[in-house]
Amino acid sequence: MDERTVSWGSGRPEPLPEGCRVGDWIVTEPIGSGGWATVYAARPADPAAAEDEEVALKVMPTAGLAPRQARDVAEAAAREVGLGRGAAHPRLIRLLDSFVLGAAPDPLLDGAIVLVMERAAGSLRELIDAGVTETEGAALIAGICEGLAHLHRAGWVHTDLKPENILIGRDGSVKLSDFGFAVELTGTHGYTPPMGTLDYLPPERGEEPLGEQGVRVRQSADIWALGIVIHEVFASGASPFPGATPAARTAAVREYAEGRAPLRMDHAVPEFWRELAADCLAPSHAARAGHTAEALLDRIRSRPGTGAGGGGGGARRRRRSLAPLLAVAMGVCAAAGAVLWSYTGTGGAEDEGPARIRVFNAERGCQGRTDRDRQCSLGLAIDPRSPYTAENVVPTRVWHGDVLEVECRLPDGQPIIDEEDRQSTVWFRIRLPGAGVPATAWLPAVRTKDRPQLPRCPRPTASAPVKARPS
């Protein structure tokens, strides 16, 4: 990696402000952040470059970390670079460049590693939140299998396959991403740090001893995660393993793997996909070993129907048509935010009245109560693009089971994680119950199980707090 400098427009360096120059790119807005990195949308600094040539900058600081932590970050970046350059494929997000920041005005950014990547239009998690038909789900899963099959043929294990790391390209195609935990095999297995997302780890992961090189991992771990993803695609994001928290769901996985509980899948998952997911979720490495990504892809492609395995056969349950009208917001990104998914239609037919959603509180102790105790109430935000704090909540509260009128859907608001560790950037604009005058506020999508067909909301603008009657 070569060393480059970062120049600044104005504002604090964390997060990088809009207009900040990083290498050959100008930051336009943040996309998301994780434990090791923050990802920004950026456009070319060269005014002669194509206007729609937007990229994603993954900034991985190393300053201020303990030596081992800094080494872990550098190794994660090196894995992404190595895989991106040695195993490129249309179903993997493209790595365009990598460099190290130097002479940054903020010491915390000195030596930060920057990966320049293809910019996607959204993630599979956002599609799941929106709801997909069987035809759409079939194409998505086939694309995931194509990416995994290539990755496995090249001798790699993803190790962190989940909807957040499965992106949707500008053309609607599937792109596997986030290879910081990816492992290159030595023989039949490789080694990875004892990290990962609990909901997608196979049963044997907890039994593997931790050695100097890490925990042993094989490609069947990705197949297990694929089984969870298949179930989520057709079950509105629900896991096949019960539990209110990742730890509880992990305990359910252990009971299943030990033969003390059956595999119970949501009835919304169509039969073909139930069988495919069940094979992926075989309880041991040996039982999954024959279900390779390539073999699964062959099964999908040979299934009677249309497209990549999919449209025929008829889903048992058809949700509304998603119709993802992909639009890439490069020139309009600063004005309209990152474009994800759009809807056709409105909240319902005129004779059906306004669309409604039912509030869902993941805290089980609050679900059966009727006393409307404030400790079980949920807040409605004033601004869905600002932190979800007490200062950003209207006085009106809502409770589990309340039915709210909803006007539209915003796909790219502040990321919210609920008590079950499910994350979404989707928000619904609702009409405040009991308001003396027409007034609205925002409910995060993790606070409802309903997914009505809705138009996309206009980008919110800064405004005074919404006036509403306290509950």
Average pLDDT in the 211-217 region? 78
Q: What are the residue boundaries of the structural domains of the chain, listed by start?
A: 2-118, 122-302, 347-447
Q: What is the pLDDT of residue 416?
A: 82
CATH topology of domain 2-118: Phosphorylase Kinase; domain 1 (3.30.200)
139 pLDDT higher than 80? yes
Q: In this predicted model, which residue has the larger pLDDT, 75 or 360?
A: 360
Domains 2-118 and 122-302 agree in fold: no
d(CA 384, CA 300): 39
Q: Give the residue, 349 or 420, on which the prediction is more confident.
A: 420
Q: Per-residue pLDDT averaged across 411-440, rounded? A: 76
Cβ atoms of 362 and 368 closer than 8 Å: no
User: What mean pLDDT is reported for the chain?
Assistant: 78
User: Phi/psi zone of residue 145: left (φ > 0), alpha (ψ -120 to 50 degrees), beta?
Assistant: alpha
Q: In the sheet where 355-358 sits, what is the strand order?
A: 355-358, 403-410, 427-431, 440-444, 378-381, 393-398
CATH T-level topology, domain 122-302: Transferase(Phosphotransferase); domain 1 (1.10.510)
Rounded to 5°, angle at Cα 279 from 274 and 281: 90
Q: pLDDT class for 221, splitting at 50, 70, 90?
A: very high
Residues 6+ apart with CB under 8 A from 300: 138, 141, 142, 145, 276, 308, 309, 310
Question: Do 250 and 216 touch, CB atoms closer than 8 A?
Answer: no
Which of 33-47, 140-154, 395-409 ranks highest by mean pLDDT? Answer: 140-154
User: Which residues are paired to 399 by β-bridges?
Assistant: none
- Which whole number is the average pLDDT over 18-42? 83
What's the predicted TM-score (pTM) here?
0.65
The closest of 58, 55, 57 to 34, measured between CA atoms, is 58
Q: Give the Cα separation of 454 and 407 in Å (integer).
A: 7
Q: Which of 171, 166, 181 is nearest to 226 (CA)?
A: 166
pLDDT of 66 strictly over 50: yes
pLDDT bucket at 366, cuts 50 / 70 / 90 = confident
Least-confidence region, from 232-241, 296-305, 386-395, 398-407: 386-395
What lies within 8 Å, CB to CB, of 382 at 6+ separation is: 392, 393, 394, 441, 442, 463, 465, 466
* 50 — pLDDT class (breaks 50, 70, 90): low
Instruction: Return the percentage of the chain with pLDDT > 70, whole number.
Output: 78
Cβ atoms 73, 65 nearer than 8 A: yes
Tokens of 143: 């694309």
Whether 253 has a pLDDT exceeding 80, the answer reads yes
